[in-house]
Amino acid sequence: MNQLMSLASADASDASDGSEEADNAPPGNLPGALPETLRAELVAFRRDLHMHPELGHQEFRTTAALKARLEKAGLAPRVLPGGTGLICDVGGAPDAAARPVLALRADIDALPIPDTKAGVPYRSTVPDRAHACGHDVHTTVVLGAGLVLAELARQDRLPQPVRLIFQPAEEVLPGGATEALECGALDGVGRIIAVHCDPRVDAGRIGLRHGPITSACDRLEIALGGPGGHTARPHLTTDLVTAAAKVVSEVPALVARRVDARSGLSITWGRIEAGHACNVIPQHAELSGTIRCLDLDTWRQAPDIIHAAVQEVADLHRAKSAINYVRGVPPVVNDAAVTDLLRDAMTARRGADAVEDTAQSLGGEDFSWYLEHVPGAMARLGVRTPGERGVRDLHQGDFDADEHAITVGVELFTAAALVDAANRPS
């Protein structure tokens, strides 16, 4: 820890002028506290993103804004081949002969839902588009951390490079993480960290968990077919409405008895379509839904298990079935050591009371794809205004975040970069 202590001593001398930055200096005067001027800029940046949400693979304006601000800071961001998303190294490019570096990841896309908030000047200006999952906050946090770390690098106070990954299309299965990986996002990277907004945690706090912190999420599409006919003579037809109803009710029950209940493998239907008239048995029916799973090993077996269950039920009712199983994302499984890094970083910034344990979520997150290659961890970033009643939940049109979370996220990431560099041997 000697390297970290020398950084802290230097920061203490720099932050002794009575400024607001000094007042907000974290325990031990660890470098990388967020200056007030930059804090205000980041809040404005987040609001601009919030007003101009872009869907996955369409984030051209967002990418351009990030590129311009990083270049203004003297950095050299690299836009991904698809034109959206970018990668940027702070403190120089990783040396292949040196130890692997730490990466900070953000997702930049929005959701195809209307923004229903009232009374805020930064409401979405794009119809049926909203940053209702907090990706604008994630993006701003990684940008802010990059700017702070770039300043430390100019002062020769950043012990090792850090990589910023601004990834497109997290909301599009199987997620833009796979594209970032194909473009070498993890080349030279040994650990990766991220945050996800949590409206059930107060701003100023984070939630952490060893092991799985999200669920796997896949998509299931089923088409059923057979000879239709008159509802007066169902015995001469394949009664597809009944067959579809049986698939809806019996397939989840079958699946639940073929895996360990602790794996949390579940199917939830979101759409069923069959027929157009009350007295006509249709020839086609369609169903679709999502598959969620808490356990990584069971998730890998899920396609075969679900294919077999659908086929059995369809055959029983003489229906032909075509199954499209769309792989989404595995669970995010937090590495214990990297989770402890986040805990140490938050404790250094705001004390041990600023960290709470969190439960495993049933939501999916394509951050998991990075963890198939390097150890990493995701923290729940509190965005609820302390004392606020109720929850403005994710993926709802009225979702919003307490912007103090931006400061917390930036300082968490800068502390993590410094603690990681100080604690890992060269």
Tens digits of residue pLDDT in 287-325: 999 999 999 999 999 999 999 999 999 999 999 999 999
Tens digits of residue pLDDT in 116-136: 999 999 999 999 999 999 999
pLDDT at 22 over 60: no
Region 3-16 average pLDDT: 41
Residue 360: band (very low, low, confident or very high) from pLDDT cuts 50, 70, 90: very high
Percentage above 90 pLDDT, the chain? 86
The residue count of the chain comes to 426
Region 210-233 average pLDDT: 96
Tens digits of residue pLDDT in 339-358: 999 999 999 999 999 999 99
**Run of H or E including 149:** helix 135-154
- According to the model, what pLDDT value does residue 425 have? 63
Percentage above 70 pLDDT, the chain? 92
User: What's the distance, Cα to Cα, between the start and end of the chain in Å?
Assistant: 13
Residue 92: band (very low, low, confident or very high) from pLDDT cuts 50, 70, 90: confident
Helix, strand, coil: what percent of the chain each, to 5?
40, 25, 40
Name every residue whose Cβ is closer than 8 Å to that of residue 72 and which is 6 or more positions away in sequence: none
Rounded Cα distance between 141 and 147, Å, is 10
- According to the model, what pLDDT value does residue 419 have? 95
Q: Are 26 and 33 in contact (CB under 8 A)?
A: yes
Q: Are 378 and 329 in contact (CB under 8 A)?
A: no
- According to the model, what pLDDT value does residue 10 have? 42
Q: How many CA atoms lie within 13 A of 243 on its CB side?
A: 33
How high is the mean pLDDT of the chain? 92
3-state SS, residue 146: helix
pLDDT at 3 over 90: no
Residue 426 CB burial class (10 angstroms; 0-12, 13-18, ≥19): exposed
Closest CA to 173 of 106, 109, 86, 248: 109
Query: Within 10 A of 98 (CB to CB), how many other CB atoms are there?
Result: 11
- Which has more confidence, 85 or 159? 85
- According to the model, what pLDDT value does residue 96 have? 55
3-state SS, residue 64: helix
CA of 107: how far to CAs of 83, 111, 152, in Å? 15, 12, 24
- According to the model, what pLDDT value does residue 9 have? 41
- Which has more confidence, 12 or 425? 425
Q: What is the DSSP string of 287-321?
A: EEEEEEES-HHHHHHHHHHHHHHHHHHHHHTT-EE
pTM of the model: 0.88
Tens digits of residue pLDDT in 381-391: 999 999 988 77
- According to the model, what pLDDT value does residue 13 have? 38
Residue 202: band (very low, low, confident or very high) from pLDDT cuts 50, 70, 90: very high
